[in-house]
Amino acid sequence: MSTNNANHTPVTVIGLGLMGQALAGSFLREGHPTTVWNRTAAKADQLVAQGATLAGSVGEAVAASPLVVVCVTDYDAVHGLLDPLGAVLDGRVLVNLGSGTSQGARETAEWAARQGGAYLDGAIMAVPAEIGADAVITYSGPRSAFELYEPALRSLGSGTTYLGDDHTLSALHEMAVLSLMWNVLNGFLQGAALLGAAGVRAGAFAPLAGKGIEIVNGWLADYAEQVDNGAYPALDSTIDTHLAAMDHLIHESESLGVSAELPRFIKALTDRAVADGRGGDGYAAMVEQFRKPS
Ligand SMILES: NC(=O)c1ccc[n+]([C@@H]2O[C@H](COP(=O)([O-])OP(=O)(O)OC[C@H]3O[C@@H](n4cnc5c(N)ncnc54)[C@H](OP(=O)(O)O)[C@@H]3O)[C@@H](O)[C@H]2O)c1
């Protein structure tokens, strides 16, 4: 087995869906000898034409490189592929870049240790077109394993970020970022539906929506400090003031005939914050509602 060598570590990529193809293509462009395997072998054709080696089996793919990257749908698929191989890792570093929960990350780390390998759990916060450019990809697991292959992993994106020894951190950060993304997008789409009912095109709303997101982005550092300190002084407006505006959004949505479900849910959470005595606090106090089990 070849060892890590300058910037040309041999790499294996298992899973050649939209993301796996982008990962393997990026390793190839950076000059890494790249072995690939996919359940549906035809998805390797283009990569093989670019110089990749197609392994005949998952076992051959793992054996080919000291750094093995897996990017399949979920942890069940990872284990379906790797568990039957037995103790194959033998000093290799396994990196899983598929999505999943922190429990999946923890169990996979324990499994990898039993197979004699080190495990890095990764999370890709990017789309395939960003791989090899400015993709943000986080890694968690043993620092020594990350540092050994950091040059190779950096070829996947300039946003390569190591989060720490705890294997669960990447999966948890991915969930936190997905929560953020869906909430921002749902807010935009609710606004677009509201304006659309009044004849305003989403394209006309987009620049103002972008400004709104920038403004909120500017608040994050102060909000984070309040959340970490557990004290929420109302520096700009109180939760009581927000609550009144939420009523307006619900009534406007109802009168225009668009869904008021999301605004009603937000108001219900805010009502609970007021019932807990938080009406005079700043909006960051809403974190207390999110901290409770649902
Ligand atoms: N695409 C993105 O923008 C993006 C961004 C961030 C994270 N991710 C994550 O990356 C992972 C892959 O995403 P993708 O976009 O590449 O998905 P995809 O295009 O649907 O590809 C899925 C891959 O998983 C393989 N697979 C699924 N079940 C399998 C099983 N039971 N046994 C063996 N192989 C199996 C598929 O093999 P076949 O080709 O044989 O079906 C294929 O290689 C997911 O966890 C996704 O959440 C994707």
Which domains are present in the chain?
A: 11-165 (3.40.50.720), 201-290 (1.10.1040.10)
Task: Give pLDDT, residue 65.
Answer: 97
Task: Give pLDDT, residue 7.
Answer: 64
Confidence category of residue 4, pLDDT binned at 50, 70, 90 = very low
CB 171 within 8 A of CB 155: no
Atom of ligand 1 nearest to the CA of 100: 45
Atom of ligand 1 nearest to the CA of 19: 16
Maximum separation of any 2 CA atoms in the chain, in Å:
68
Ligand 1 close to Cβ of residue 142 (< 6 A):
no
- pLDDT tens track for 56-86: 999 999 999 999 999 999 999 999 999 998 7
Distance 19 CA to ligand 1 centre (A): 7
Percent share of the chain, pLDDT over 70: 98
For ligand 1, atom 32, the nearest C-alpha belongs to 77
Q: What DSSP string runs through 90-132?
A: TT-EEEE-S---HHHHHHHHHHHHHTT-EEEEEEEES-GGGTT
- pLDDT tens track for 190-203: 999 999 999 999 99
Atom of ligand 1 nearest to the CA of 99: 45
Q: Is the pLDDT of residue 45 over 90?
A: yes
Q: Is the pLDDT of residue 55 over 80?
A: yes
Ligand 1 close to Cβ of residue 151 (< 6 A):
no
Residue with tokens 């914050």: 273
Confidence category of residue 230, pLDDT binned at 50, 70, 90 = very high
For ligand 1, atom 10, the nearest C-alpha belongs to 98
Task: Give pLDDT, residue 90.
Answer: 86
CB 115 within 8 A of CB 86: yes
Ligand 1 close to Cβ of residue 18 (< 6 A):
yes
